[in-house]
Structure 1
Amino acid sequence: MDGTRALEPVAARADEVWKVYGTAEARVVALRGVSANFARGKFTAIMGPSGSGKSTLMHCLAGLDTVSRGTVHIGGTQVTGLGDKALTRLRRDRVGFIFQQFNLLPTLTAAENIRLPLDIAGKKPDPQWWDTVIGTVNLQDRLDHRPSQLSGGQQQRVACARALMSRPDVIFADEPTGNLDSKSGAEVLSFLRSSVREHGQTIVMVTHDPVAASYTDRVVFLADGEIVQELDRPTPESVLEAMKHGEVLV
C-alpha cells in the first residue's frame, strides 16, 4: 500500500484478516491475512477467480460474516466483535447492499422498496435527497410499479436507490450487473459511478467483468485468499492484461 492511499480517509478497512471454514481435513482457508483500505468517496472493484476469496472478503467487510482472525472497520467503528444488536444497527444505518438478485419485495411498489430500510428504522427520507436519488436513477415514472412490472435493469436501479437512500458510509455491491444485459448493466454502472463522483458515495463491488471493473477507480485482485495485485484507473484492456500476466483468471 502506498503512502498516499494510507493517508486517504477510509470508509472500510481489513487488517490481517483470516477466514477459515471447517476443521481438520475439511479445513478451507478462504482469506489469508488480507489487509486493505477502501477510501471514502471512491469506487473499488474486487476481482479474482472462483474460490479466490473475493465474496468472502466483501461479506466480512460488510459484517455479513465473521472473521477467524484480524479486524474489520467501517469508518472508525470496529465491526469485529460487535454484538448482534450493534451489528444489525450498523448494517441498517451505515452500510448499503446491492445484490445480483435485486432482493426486492414483490408486493411493494418501487417507492416502497426504496423506502423500506428507512421505514424499518422509523425514519423518513430527506425530500431533497429523495428527489436527487430518484432523478439520478431515472425512476420518476416507475415509482408506483411493482417489481414484476419492471425490467431487470429498472429493478436493479430500484435496488441501487434503496442502498443510497440512507446515505450509508459504504455500499457493497455483489455482481450487481450479473443478471443484466449489456445495455442495462452499463446504465447501472454509470449510475454507481456518478453516485461516487457527484455525491461522494463509497462503493466496493465484487465483479468478474473487466468492463464493469473499468467503471471503478481501483481494482483489487485476489487469488487463493490473498491480494496479489492492485490497479488504479483501470480500463478493460488493463484489467485483462493484469489478469493475464498476474494469472488472476476469472
Structure 2
Amino acid sequence: MDGHAASAVDVVKVYGRGDTAVRALDHVTLDFPRGRFTAIMGPSGSGKSTLMHCLAGLDTVDGGRVHIGRTDLTGLSDAELTRLRRDRVGFVFQSFNLLPTMNAEENILLGLRLAGRRPDPAWFDTVVGTLGLRQRLRHKPGELSGGQQQRVACARALVGRPDVVFADEPTGSLDSRSGAEVLDFLRTSVRELGQTVVMVTHDPVAASYTDRRVVLADGRIAEFSGLGA
C-alpha cells in the first residue's frame, strides 16, 4: 500500500436481505495515490457515495478490505475507527456542517481541540492564507457567503494534515463562481500542499479539476481515466 493514501480491495457492500437486497458495491478494487485529486462519479444509485463512506470508515463493508495508508479499517473497533477518522481523515460536505455560534477560526480548529491537539501555527497560516480567509476568521457562518463557508469547511478538513480528504458533492450548494473557488482551492491543496483529495460528484465541470476520474455504474467500476489510469 506504499504510495496510496487509501485503497479498496474486492469491496462488497449489500443493503437489505433476500429478495430486497441491493448490492451497492460489487467487488470494487481501487487505489488512491498520495498527492492526487480523484473524482468518483456515476448516476444516482451507482455506489459512489457508498464507496466514499466505506473508504472513510463511515460505513462497514460486507466483503473485501479497505485501507487508509497501511491501516486495515475492516479489523478496527468502533473506538479505533472514531480515532482514525478524527486524526487521519478530513471531510468536506455539501452542507458545510459549521457551528453557527462559533466564528470561522473556532470552526476550523474545532476538530483538533476536541482531539486534544494543538494546531501547527505555520500550517494553520498556510491553509488560511491559501484559502483567502485571514480577514474572515472572526466572522460567524451567518456573516459569510456560501463559498466562504465552504472554504472554512475546507480549512477545517486540512488543518490537521490528514492522510486523505473526502469531499462529498462539495460544490452542490454553491453557485458556479463560488464552486469554482472551492474547486480551485482543492486542486491547489493537492498540487502545492501535497494533500490527497477524493471527491464524489455528479458534475463533469467539477470533475474536470481533478487528476483522475472513476465512474461507477451498478456498484462496479465502469470507467477510469487520468493519471494512474
Q: TM-score band (shorter)?
A: over 0.9
Aligned identity (percent) is: 69
Match of 2:205 in 1: 211
**Is 1:166–2:153 an aligned residue pair?**
no
Preserved CA contact (<8 Å) 1:8 1:40: no
2-structure distance, mates of 1:37, 1:10: 6
The code of the aligned residue for 2:22 comes to: V
Match of 1:75 in 2: 69
2-structure distance, mates of 1:80, 1:45: 23
Q: What TM-score do you get using the length of structure 1 for normalisation?
A: 0.90
1:31 to 10, 13, 25: 25
Match of 1:10 in 2: 4
2-structure distance, mates of 1:157, 1:217: 21
2-structure distance, mates of 1:227, 1:25: 24
Match of 2:128 in 1: 134
**Is 1:91–2:85 an aligned residue pair?**
yes
Aligned residues: 227
Runs of 4+ in 1 over 4 A off after TM superposition: none
Q: What TM-score do you get using the length of structure 2 for normalisation?
A: 0.98
Displacement of 1:24: 1.0
Unaligned runs of 5+ in 2: none
1:144 to 106, 130, 138: 138
Displacement of 1:25: 1.9
**Is 1:105–2:95 an aligned residue pair?**
no
The code of the aligned residue for 1:60 comes to: C
Match of 2:57 in 1: 63
RMSD over aligned CA atoms reads 0.9
Preserved CA contact (<8 Å) 2:2 2:69: no
Residues 145-193 of structure 1 show CA distances to partners (whole Å, capped at 9, x for unaligned) of 1111100000000000000000000000000000000000000000000
1-structure distance, mates of 2:125, 2:194: 17
